Amino acid sequence: MVVLWNLWRRRNNLRLGKPTIPLDKVLEHSWEQRFESHSSPLTSTTPTTKQPARWTPPPDHWYKLNFDGATFADKDTAGIGIMVRNSDGLVMASLAQQIPLPPSVIEVETLAARRALEFALELGFERIILEGDSESLDNALKMECRNFTMYGHLVQDIIFLSTHLSEFKISLVRRQGNNLAHSLARKSQFLSHMSVWMEDVPPDLLSVLEADFTSLQ
C-alpha cells in the first residue's frame, strides 16, 4: 500500500509541476517509510528520550560491543570506532579504522556495526550485546522482513554474523552513552591503517574512558 500511495502522489505532483522523487527511488523510499512507522515485536517502543544517556556495563559473562561511524567529507573517507568491554567495564579491545566514504550516513553506521561483529568473532567473544546510537539501524536490525534499502545487504550480513555467536542482543543508547566508540571513529581520520588496542584505548582517549567509569558511580 505504501508503494501504491507514493506512486499516486508522484503522478499528482508531476501533473501539478511539484518536486517529486525519481521513479527508480520509489521502492526504496517506500521501504524506509515502512520501517520508520512499523516495528516488529522485537523493536523497543520506548521513546528516544527514554534511551540510556550513559554507558552501562553488560550482565555477567556478557560483553558489550559499542560501535559508531563518522564521516570526513573533505577527505572523502569515513571512520569506524569499536569498543569491547566486559561486565566490570574493563576494556577488552578497541579499534579505529578509516574506510572509503559510503553514499549515506546510515551506511557508515551499518558498516561500523558489521565490522564490530567481525571484530568480536575474530577475538572469540560469544555472548555479545551490540550497542550503537543509530535509531534507524536499530529498527532495521529488528525488522522481521527483508530490508530492501540500499544498505539492506549490510543488514543481512550483520544478522548472518550474529548467528555465529552463542547469544546476541541489540541495544540502543543515546550519543552520550556511546562517546568512546564515537571518539575512536573520529580518531580514525588521523590513521593511515586500522589500529587495534588490546585491553586498552589510545592514550588520548583515557579521559573519555574515565568519564564512563565516573558515570557508573
- Phi-psi region for residue 176, left (φ > 0), alpha (ψ -120 to 50) or beta? alpha
Q: What is the mean pLDDT of the chain?
A: 82
Residue 48 belongs to some domain of the structure: no
Residues 6+ apart with CB under 8 A from 55: 64, 66, 173, 177, 178, 179, 180, 212, 215, 216
> Do 79 and 184 fall into the same domain?
yes
DSSP 8-state code for residue 50: G
pLDDT at 54 over 90: no
Residue 194 belongs to some domain of the structure: yes
pLDDT at 189: 94
Residue 43 belongs to some domain of the structure: no
Domain range enclosing 8: 2-37
> Do 140 and 193 fall into the same domain?
yes
pLDDT at 6: 53
Q: What is the pTM of this model?
A: 0.75
Average pLDDT estimate for 126-132: 96
Residue 136 belongs to some domain of the structure: yes
d(CA 142, CA 159): 10
> Do 98 and 194 fall into the same domain?
yes
pLDDT at 63 over 60: yes
pLDDT at 175 over 70: yes
Domain tally, the chain: 2
Least confident of 34-38, 149-153, 158-162: 34-38
> Do 110 and 27 fall into the same domain?
no
> Do 200 and 117 fall into the same domain?
yes
> Do 160 and 80 fall into the same domain?
yes
* Four-residue CA torsion sign, 71, 175, 46, 41: positive
CA nearest neighbour of 99 among 192, 161, 178, 179: 192
Angle at 155 between CA 151 and CA 158, to 5 degrees: 140
d(CA 103, CA 187): 21
> Do 84 and 162 fall into the same domain?
yes
Residue 174 belongs to some domain of the structure: yes
d(CA 186, CA 69): 8
Looking at residue 193, which CATH number applies to its domain?
Answer: 3.30.420.10
> Do 102 and 206 fall into the same domain?
yes
> Do 116 and 177 fall into the same domain?
yes
C-alpha radius of gyration, the chain, whole number:
19
d(CA 185, CA 116): 12
